[in-house]
Chains A and B, each alone.
Chain A
């Protein structure tokens, strides 16, 4: 099946710093989503971004489907950004969604 690799696995930032998280995938995808799992375990949708660029406040994401990667940018990081960021893809085979996750990037933002 499709392989999803995220980097870096762990990231420690000082509050106010910027960061870039990467998601590589091994095959063509129909959809791609970024999620944030907060320290309480809740999974929060960030972006639905099969291609192109989207921005939402301090966060933005870019997916280059032809080169099989997506980037999540976090600017002016805050302690509340801490948690694990997951990338999930689906290949949309036979008109079905079938989301597969990367292992995540664990972000710690220090005050």
Chain B
């Protein structure tokens, strides 16, 4: 049973480009969470999704950021028109309906 898979591990984008971060949850997990971590800081909740539904996006910036978890395929966190302040590590976690959550290894986004 593979763990939570995130790709790419590292992503470099120029200001104004789009960044697409992918997360494949563990087999049997229907819940996905995205978190952002700035250097030397904790994990900030962004969005919580179930298949085809956004349950809680209270931590997501209102503009340029979107997330989806389609019926088939990975969850996608999309950042449009990236700015330097978007540079961070983005972590995805998955869990079954009730139970322990597991994290992927993160995507480190650098905006140049």
How far apart sit A45 and B3, CA to CA, in the bound complex (Å)? 12
Which applies to chain B's interface (DSSP): helix, strand, loop or mixed?
A: strand
If A43-B91, A98-B48, A103-B42 touch, whether A33 touches B35 (CB-CB below 8 Å) is no
Q: List chain A residues, Cβ under 8 A from B106.
A: 41-43
Q: List chain B residues, Cβ under 8 A from A25.
A: none
B contact residues, total (Cβ < 8 Å): 27
Stretch at the interface among A13-21, A64-72, A74-82, A89-97: A89-97
Q: Name the distance in Å between A46's Cβ and chain B's nearest Cβ.
A: 10
Q: List chain A residues, Cβ under 8 A from B102.
A: 45
Q: Are B93 and A99 in contact (CB under 8 A)?
A: yes
If A48-B99, A86-B43 touch, whether A97 touches B31 (CB-CB below 8 Å) is yes
Q: B residues bordering A, Cβ < 8 Å?
A: 31, 33, 35, 41-45, 48, 50, 55-56, 58, 89, 91, 93, 95, 97-103, 105-106, 108
Q: A96-B50, A97-B95, A101-B43 are in contact. List 11 more A-B contacts (CB 8 A).
A: A41-B108, A42-B105, A43-B91, A43-B103, A48-B99, A92-B98, A95-B97, A96-B31, A96-B48, A101-B42, A104-B42
Q: A residues bordering B, Cβ < 8 Å?
A: 1, 31, 33, 35, 41-43, 45, 48, 84, 86, 88, 92, 95-104
